[in-house]
Amino acid sequence: MFFWNQIKCEQTKYLIQTYLDGEMSQKEVIKLTKHLERCTPCDKDRYVYMKIKQSLKMRSIQVNPEVINSLHNYVRRLDEF
């Protein structure tokens, strides 16, 4: 049986990131999830780290120049609507 306070809040900043990077064992994930379910400040941290990771990941999205050209043409045609 796991107790939600088995993990201390000071440890979670580190653990949340390991979890979001997919580098955490299933056993550790269960412990962390139990803690986050009960600890609002740590769960808020999880949300911020998730947004940071999402936002950084977005920088790596490759955009085909043809797609941008077609969107540009769409903008030009808007006057015709």
Partner 1 sequence: MALENNQKLKKPTFEEISTPYLESLYRSAWSMTHSDADSQDLVQETLLKAYKAYKNFDGRYPKAWLLTILRNTFINNVRKKQAQLLDNPDDPFNEINLSSNLETPEDIVIDPLFEERLEDSYNNLSPDYRQVVDLVDLDGLSYKEAAQKLDVPVGTVMSRLHRARNNIKNQLERSEEA
Q: Which residues bind partner 1 (CB under 8 A)?
A: 13-14, 17-18, 21-23, 45, 48-61, 63-64, 67-68, 70-72, 74-76, 78, 81
Residue 64 has φ and ψ, to the nearest 5°, of -70, 125
Q: How far is the CB of 62 from partner 1 (least distance, A)?
A: 9
Q: Give the whole-angstrom CA distance, residue 69 versus residue 76.
A: 11
Q: How far is the CB of 51 from partner 1 (least distance, A)?
A: 6
Q: What is the CA radius of gyration of the chain?
A: 21
For the chain, where are the alpha helices, taking DSSP H only?
A: 9-20, 26-38, 40-58, 65-77
Q: How far is the CB of 71 from partner 1 (least distance, A)?
A: 5
Judged by CB, which is closer to partner 1: 1, or 74?
A: 74
